[in-house]
């Protein structure tokens, strides 16, 4: 967004929707405004419930709202990242309205989430592809996309490390009104596994492990707006109310506080993509729980564990060991290096946008 905004060749149009507009999830549209951007359009789509029916209805509301915005704003190109249902609605609407789409972070796998299927569907409706690794680029090619539309650029999340001004530990503690210094500091983000069948254990085993490891200081961020997210957040809130001296729940840290926090925590735990993509580049060990992120490439600083109290406890102890701290300090990552945003814009600048929707399926045997 910064690269587009400072370019003389483009005009940036920002559309905010989903949890950006929800007080429950931190009303993070304010983070967009603090970064100096104008938010041209806001589309309310979230319902109070987080059932699969409400998720489907929210997606429908996104279709309606986005179609009205696209008709009013007539964008030349839609640029979006990821694989969530809100983004799926945006790509689908743009496709139906003949608006070219540039998709960032396609070709990945998250076998424990519905996002996995949505991402591949979004690939087929997109016109330009900016995967983070060659492995993911190959997967996009397997889906029949033309080779001259697929560009490996690295992970855009790594740009944050190069450009985000960092806060001091003292300032972070003051803003959160929470002691960050006594005991190992843990950053935890846990989302529902939306494709898990059978009994869903959720966050209970993790909280049971935290209950036994009483020397840990834990900063929780809320689960996202997925099916089952409310239940996860309620369980975390209950844990924090009983362990308020050593834990805190934050709706959303925001980009500056999150990146700053990564510089001070002893480990990241949960099942968020940030533990896979960003934590290794910050030199922080990750304990990744369950199957939500199954299929993503792994840095050597990531410890995968089953969703059981015993496995999680063992993973935490291993991550806090001097051996894993040394491994993490090497900052080895399969996702390249900062600069993806600039590379993406340079590629877009050399494209004739009006010709993008005319692509062919390429058979590869």
Residue ranges covered by each domain of the chain:
2-154+339-355, 165-329
CA distances, 75 to each of 19, 268, 327 (Å): 23, 38, 45
Q: Identify the CA nearest to 66 among candidates 80, 51, 49.
A: 80
Q: How many CB atoms lie within 10 A of CB 106?
A: 26
∠358-80-332 over CA atoms, to 5°? 115
Q: Which string of DSSP letters, residue by residue, matches 139-156?
A: HHHHTT--GGGB-----G
Q: How confident is the model at residue 201 (pLDDT cuts 50, 70, 90)?
A: low
Select from 3.40.50.2000, 1.20.140.10, 3.20.20.70, 3.40.430.10 the CATH code of 2-154+339-355: 3.40.50.2000
Is 80 exceeded by the pLDDT of residue 226? no
The label of the residue with tokens 């003292």 reads 170
List of residues 6+ apart from 273 with CB closer than 8 A: 110, 293, 296
Mind listing the pLDDT tens digit for each residue in 294-325? 888 999 999 999 999 999 999 999 999 999 99
Q: How confident is the model at residue 242 (pLDDT cuts 50, 70, 90)?
A: very high
Q: Which CATH class is domain 165-329?
A: alpha beta
Mind listing the pLDDT tens digit for each residue in 328-358? 999 998 888 889 999 999 999 999 888 887 8
Look at residue 197 in the predicted model and tell me its pLDDT: 45
Is 80 exceeded by the pLDDT of residue 253? yes
Token pair belonging to 68:
């009205």
Token pair belonging to 171:
């300032």
CA distances, 210 to each of 177, 207, 213, 224 (Å): 21, 5, 5, 21
∠104-109-110 over CA atoms, to 5°? 105
pTM: 0.80
- The total number of residues shown for the chain amounts to 365
Look at residue 245 in the predicted model and tell me its pLDDT: 93
Asked, colleague to colleague, whether 2-154+339-355 and 165-329 share their fold, the answer is: yes
């Amino acid at each position: 967004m910064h690269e587009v905004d400072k370019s003389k060749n483009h005009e940036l149009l920002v559309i905010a929707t989903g949890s950006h507009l929800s007080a429950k999830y931190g009303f993070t549209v304010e983070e967009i405004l603090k970064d100096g951007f104008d938010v041209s359009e806001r589309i309310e789509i979230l319902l109070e419930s987080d059932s699969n029916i409400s998720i489907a209805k929210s997606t429908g509301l996104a279709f309606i709202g986005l179609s009205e915005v696209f008709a009013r704003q007539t964008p030349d190109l839609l640029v979006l990242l990821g694989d969530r249902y809100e983004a799926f609605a945006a790509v689908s609407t743009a496709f139906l309205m003949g608006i070219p789409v540039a998709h960032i972070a396609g070709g990945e796998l998250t076998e424990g989430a519905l996002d996995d299927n949505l991402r591949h569907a979004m690939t087929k409706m997109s016109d330009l592809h900016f995967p983070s690794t060659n492995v993911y680029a190959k997967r996009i090619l397997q889906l029949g996309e033309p080779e001259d539309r697929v560009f490996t650029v690295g992970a855009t999340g790594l740009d944050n490390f190069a450009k985000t001004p960092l806060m001091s530990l003292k300032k972070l503690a003051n803003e959160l009104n929470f002691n960050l210094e006594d005991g190992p500091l843990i950053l935890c983000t846990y989302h529902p596994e939306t494709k898990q069948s059978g009994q869903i254990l959720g966050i209970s085993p993790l909280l049971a492990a935290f209950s036994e490891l009483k020397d840990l200081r834990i900063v929780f961020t809320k689960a996202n707006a997925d099916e089952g997210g409310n239940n996860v957040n309620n369980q975390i809130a209950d844990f924090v109310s009983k362990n308020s001296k050593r834990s805190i729940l934050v709706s959303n840290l925001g980009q500056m506080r999150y990146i700053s926090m990564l510089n001070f925590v002893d480990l990241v735990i949960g099942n968020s993509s940030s533990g896979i993509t960003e934590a290794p580049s910050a030199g922080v060990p990750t304990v990744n729980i369950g199957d939500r992120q199954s299929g993503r490439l792994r840095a050597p600083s990531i410890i995968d564990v089953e969703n059981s109290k015993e496995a999680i406890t063992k993973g935490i102890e291993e991550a806090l060991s001097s051996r894993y701290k040394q491994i993490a300090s090497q900052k080895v990552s399969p996702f390249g290096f900062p600069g993806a945003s600039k590379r993406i814009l340079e590629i877009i600048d050399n494209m004739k946008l009006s010709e993008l929707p005319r692509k062919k399926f390429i058979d590869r045997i």
